[in-house]
Structure 1
Amino acid sequence: MQKLLISVVALIALVAGVVIYNTLPKPQPQALVYDPPRALESFTLESSLGRDVTNDNLKGQWTLLFTGYTFCPDICPTTMADLRKALPQLTKHTELPVRVWMISVDPQRDTVKRVTDYASFFGEEFVGIRAEHPQLYPFVNGLGLMYSIPEEGETDYLVNHSAAIVLVNPNGERQAIFKAEHVMGEVPTVNMDTMATDFAIIASSFN
């Protein structure tokens, strides 16, 4: 009788624990998460893969899209290096591949070879992307990002561009955007620890 009573009490405690757990507020990502995810307009862009890429190349993997350019003096190399360090942490939370697309916003100087050399330096998970402005600008704008176009004839210039990172889900849709932190006197970059925590939450709830 005593064993039965202990078993009943244990069962009640277990059920109570499950109920309490399910009613507790779940952790929420700090990133801007699109609910529902947003489809991307059709695109065709040049890549470091040796062929053009389209929407289909985003499917079956998680992809981090980052705008930059190979002549960038600060934000781009810092973010790319940070992403290389963060990738092992991200891959712990998914069985699917995690890739990074570095989208050049400087088509005047960034050839396919140049973006290929640049992306490959950071690892095989990195893909360099480029296109001319008529194809590039709508694509970047559709991601919710921006970049500046230099005056005609300029050869020595900086390109202002977004420092945020867009997360595309395995269905090829915009799932979230990780915004850069702006600290006085420092290069604006995405906090990789926060991004990893957010990615774990997002990936775990992805159907």
Structure 2
Amino acid sequence: MQKLLVSVVAIVALLAGVVIFNSLPQPQPQALVYEPPREMEPFMLKGHNGGDVTNADLTGQWTFLFTGYTSCPDICPTTMADFKKILPQLASVTSQPVKVWLVSVDPKRDTQQKLAAYTTYFGKEFLGVRAEHKNLYPFVNGLGLMYSIPAEGEVDYLVNHSSAIVLVNPDGNRQAIFKAKQTPGQVPTVDMQQMAEDFQIISQQYR
């Protein structure tokens, strides 16, 4: 009888603990999370390997997308290097593959070969994608990002572009966007450690 009483008390205590835990405020990501996730418009780009890249290539994986170009002097190489460092941490919190897409916003200079050499340096999880402006601009705009198009005839130019990072879920829909920190005198970049912490929360809450 005493053993039964102890068991009942233990079960009641466990259930009470579960109820209390579920009633506590759950951690929330600092990123802008889309609820519900936003569908991606149909697109067709080219990968750095020469193959077509469509919506289907976003499914079955978590994908981080950001705009950049191989001649970029600051934001792009910094973001790529930061991603290379943080990828093991990102991959450790989900059973789905984690990929990174560099969306080139400089189709004039970023040929397939140049983009391939640049992207593959960072690892097999990275994919460089490109397109001419007529297909590229709607795709980038659909992500909630932007970039500038140089004037006709310009040769040595910089491309202004968003420094935010977009997260696409395994269904191929936009799940969140990570904004860059704006610090006077410094290159605006996304806080990768905060992004990793947010991603853990987002991936755990997925479905």
Query: If the TM-score is normalised by the length of the shorter chain, which range does it land in?
Result: over 0.9
Q: 1:87 maps to what in 2?
A: 87
Kindly state the Cα deviation for residue 143 of structure 1 after the two structures are TM-superposed: 0.2
Between 135-144 and 48-57, the greater mean CA deviation after superposition: 48-57
Letter in 1 for 2:90: L
Q: 1:106 maps to what in 2?
A: 106
Q: 1:68 maps to what in 2?
A: 68
Q: 2:179 maps to what in 1?
A: 179
Post-superposition CA distance 1:112-156 (Å, at most 9, x none): 111111110100000011111000000000000000111111101
Separation in 2, partners of 1:46, 1:10: 60
Give the gaps of 5 or more residues in structure 1.
none
Separation in 2, partners of 1:157, 1:12: 69
Number of aligned residue pairs: give it: 207
Post-superposition CA distance 1:48-104 (Å, at most 9, x none): 133011111111111100100000000000000000111100111111111101000
Kindly state the Cα deviation for residue 205 of structure 1 after the two structures are TM-superposed: 1.4
Separation in 2, partners of 1:2, 1:53: 67
Give the gaps of 5 or more residues in structure 2.
none
Displaced runs of 4+ in structure 1, greater than 2 A? Answer: 1-9
Q: Is the 8 A contact 2:49 2:112 kept in 1?
A: no
Letter in 1 for 2:185: G
Q: 2:191 maps to what in 1?
A: 191
Post-superposition CA distance 1:171-200 (Å, at most 9, x none): 111010011111121111111111111111
Instruction: Name the SS for the 1:122 alignment partner.
Output: coil
Kindly state the Cα deviation for residue 170 of structure 1 after the two structures are TM-superposed: 0.7
Separation in 2, partners of 1:173, 1:77: 26
Scaled by the length of structure 2, the TM-score of the pair is: 0.97
Q: 1:51 maps to what in 2?
A: 51
Instruction: Name the SS for the 2:38 alignment partner.
Output: strand
Letter in 2 for 1:40: M
Q: 2:144 maps to what in 1?
A: 144
Cα RMSD, aligned residues only: 1.0
Q: 2:202 maps to what in 1?
A: 202
Q: 1:125 maps to what in 2?
A: 125
Kindly state the Cα deviation for residue 10 of structure 1 after the two structures are TM-superposed: 1.8
Between 4-13 and 109-118, the greater mean CA deviation after superposition: 4-13
Q: 2:160 maps to what in 1?
A: 160
Separation in 2, partners of 1:54, 1:19: 44
Separation in 1, partners of 2:153, 2:50: 29
Separation in 1, partners of 2:199, 2:162: 20
